Amino acid sequence: MSSWTVGEVAALAGVSVRTLHHYDALGLVVPSSRSRAGYRRYDRHDLERLQEVLLFKRLGFGLDEVAALLADPAHDRRTALLRQRDLLAERAARLAAVRDLVERTLATLDGGDPMSETDMFDGLDPLEWNERTHGEEVRERWAETDAYRESSRRTARYSQEDWARLGAQNEALEAGLAALLVEGVSAEDPRAMDLAEAHRRHIDEWFYPCSYEMHVGLSDLYAADERFTAHYDDRAPGLAAYLRDAIVANAVRATP
């Protein structure tokens, strides 16, 4: 049976070796065998497992969610793929509506018939794209979790001064990470990992207990979800991915 080294799998999947080591430590993608020298060897089944993990990540699931889904005795790969196809179709339909709006707007600018006031906003339903995704979606996905309940409990009693301090701390963290990125400092540099650790503790202090595993799951969301990516990349192009990589590196550093 064919097998692949960790470096070969990293190249195939477009992820870092460090990420694969982290998945192994979490029990998400554990190589089926080791070479005589003790090096990881991945077989076809392991590649399929990695594909599942990366598909869920691309859809915005955190690593803790992915781990729970894959550990469910009722989990079936075909059923999961069918659900993923449905989610992708929904996302594609929303994007297609926006693309159509852009095309019709361009046609108007190029001398075509003016669009009606209603047509000007087809595909840009704020309830669907903003409140739905930032409010209702969060409640649907997290309302039954201890983290969501704890965050709601804490933030309900914050004063205006508390929110100001919280915002100032977050601003300092993001500015520090952006400065390192612009300077060309690796996300695996201790300075970047220290800021990633400060970011984790910021969440832990202000919102809910944030383990390293949960932090890595959040970092996947930052880099995969276009709404989070836009927030970070507006400050510095590539910052969302840089933060994710620094968080993963920090989690690996903290793993015994």
CA distance 149 to 88: 29
Cα distances from 214 to residues 63, 65, 80, 171, 229, in angstroms, run: 7, 9, 22, 21, 18
Count of other CB atoms within 10 angstroms of residue 40: 21
pLDDT at 198 over 80: yes
CA distance 138 to 141: 5
- pLDDT over 70 percentage in the chain: 88
CA distance 145 to 250: 25
pLDDT in tens, 200-221: 999 899 888 888 988 898 888 8
CA distance 94 to 101: 11
Domain ranges of the chain: 4-71, 77-124, 158-256
Beta bridge partners of 40: 34
pLDDT of residue 134: 39
The verdict on domain 158-256 having CATH code 1.10.10.10 is no
pLDDT of residue 148: 64
pLDDT in tens, 86-144: 878 877 887 888 888 888 888 888 888 888 777 777 766 543 443 334 344 444 444 45
pLDDT in tens, 43-85: 999 999 999 999 888 777 777 778 877 877 777 888 888 878 8
- What architecture does CATH give domain 4-71? Orthogonal Bundle (1.10)
CA distance 217 to 83: 20
CA distance 57 to 92: 17
CA distance 12 to 4: 10
Only one residue has tokens 């620094």, namely 246
Check the CA dihedral 55-59-63-66 and report its sign.
negative
Strands (E), the chain: 4-5, 33-34, 40-42
Helices (H), the chain: 6-13, 17-26, 44-58, 63-71, 77-109, 126, 137-142, 146-155, 160-183, 190-206, 212-224, 226-235, 239-254
